[in-house]
Structure 1
């Protein structure tokens, strides 16, 4: 099996990729301590940081590639969601609030997400976006 984000992206939806990523993350002995907030002294931390994993090489690479798949698919979902909000009549203040950021930052984020889009799609989205809020 080819373990690349491109290969796995066709095999997994965002939901299934996130579920598999979570499953592998929970199985990773080395990651379990890193994903849990506890107080440890410096010697314990060294033992945790150098601990092993219960994942084999294939699963470890799958975990890494799935992280990238989830990131890419979430990126695409964010752009889709922002476009849908704009088409639905939301303003940048509402979109910013939904993202937990300032309206101007939401507009900037939208512009950044459009950078990878087809020129025609980007132009129509630019028109939908309007001007940058203050």
Structure 2
């Protein structure tokens, strides 16, 4: 059974989405178990029900996509801050408050600080962390926009 941690290293966001989409389409096209006539006709090509392994892979890929999208979101937040965006603007772009956007970004920074503790991850050094925290600033320090 594939786990998100295993698949995360095998797939990029684009390839994970492509595989997820292919499995999800098959799942949607496959006859449901409660259809009366499903036993009479074989499923159309490409509409076979998912195997147990594929169904579990679909679940794990959903988690991989969420993780990779979240990481990409925080890189974009950092880019927006570098470009001069306020936390109010970032919060609006994310459909949340400036405080919630700032807190999520700071949790991400904290996670980057922990990465060197995990084998195979390089993480950030103290200088990188200080620069990231300085760029993040405080949402209360900004004028309301």
Q: Into which bin does the TM-score normalised by the smaller protein fall?
A: 0.7 to 0.9
Alpha-carbon distance in 1 for matches of 2:31, 2:137: 45
Equivalent residue number for residue 40 of structure 1:
none
Which consecutive residues of structure 1, in runs of 5 or more, have no partner in the other structure?
34-46
User: Are 2:63 and 1:68 aligned?
Assistant: yes
Shift of 1:31: 9.4
2:117: which partner in 1? none
Q: Which runs of 5+ in 2 are unaligned?
A: 36-47, 114-124
1:11 CA displacement = 2.0
1:83 and 2:90 matched: no
Alpha-carbon distance, 1:76 to partner: 1.0
Instruction: State the 1:30 CA deviation.
Output: 9.4
Is 1:18 paired with 2:25? Answer: no
Asked which structure has the greater CA Rg, the reply is: 2
Contact 1:21 1:63 in 2 (8 A): yes
Structure 2 residue 138 is the aligned partner of structure 1 residue 131: yes
Q: TM-score, normalised by structure 2?
A: 0.68
Match of 1:36 in 2: none
Q: Is the contact between residue 94 and residue 101 of structure 2 (CA under 8 Å) also seen in structure 1? A: yes
| Corresponding residue number in structure 2 for 1:43 | none
Q: How far did residue 55 of structure 1 move?
A: 0.3
Question: Once superposed, which parts of structure 1, at least 4 consecutive aligned residues long, lie more than 4 Å away?
Answer: 29-33
Aligned length in residues: 116
**Structure 1 length-normalised TM:** 0.73
Q: Kindly state the Cα deviation for residue 4 of structure 1 after the two structures are TM-superposed.
A: 2.0
Give the alignment partner of residue 117 of structure 1, picking from 109, 112, 115. 112
User: What secondary structure sits across from 2:18 in the alignment?
Assistant: helix
